[in-house]
Amino acid sequence: MLALCSKIDQQHFESRCDSGCSDGGDVVSGNTARRSRLIISAREGSYSPAARSLVVKIHAQASSPGSVSFGEATSPRMASLKDLQAASAGWFYNEDAKTVWVKFADRGAARITVAK
């Protein structure tokens, strides 16, 4: 399962959209034995939100990723969910919940790869 979120909070998770976001772009995800990939297509139409960050929560990740990248750039791993909240971008693996949290700047489109 994949969720696109408006805030990072394990207790009060707020889902913004799961697939086919209401603010324009499409969300496409794929998973293989070695990686998970999320592609968010460019927005269409006149919708232009203020600068913001987006957070992706990826469930059912049996082990911590080896790396997470946005396009060609590797994203920094954060030591805690609190550190991820404070950062402008990065990722955190929750061992207990088997989830990967990925935070990035909303530039209207994104390609995220979670490598095992």
Nearest CA-CA partner of 65 in 10, 16, 111, 112 = 112
Question: What is the secondary structure of 15-84 as a DSSP string?
Answer: EEESSS-TTS--EEEEE-SSEEEEEEPPP-SS--PPS-EEEEEE----S--SEEEETTEEPPBPSSHHHH
Res 16: pLDDT:
41
The residue ranges of the chain whose pLDDT is under 70 are 1-34
Res 3: pLDDT:
52
Res 19: pLDDT:
40
Please check whether residue 97 is in contact with residue 58, taking contact to mean a CB–CB distance below 8 angstroms.
Answer: no
Q: Which domain holds residue 63?
A: 2-115
One-letter amino acid for residue 34 of the chain: R
If one counts the domains in the chain, the total is 1
In the numeric block, the tokens 């990939």 are attached to: 37
At residue 90's C-alpha, the angle toward residues 79 and 69, to 5°, is 120
Res 11: pLDDT:
40
Res 5: pLDDT:
53
Looking up residue 95, the CATH number of its domain turns out to be 2.60.40.1180
CA–CA distance, 112 with 37 (Å, rounded to integer): 6
Please count the residues of the chain: 116
Res 52: pLDDT:
84
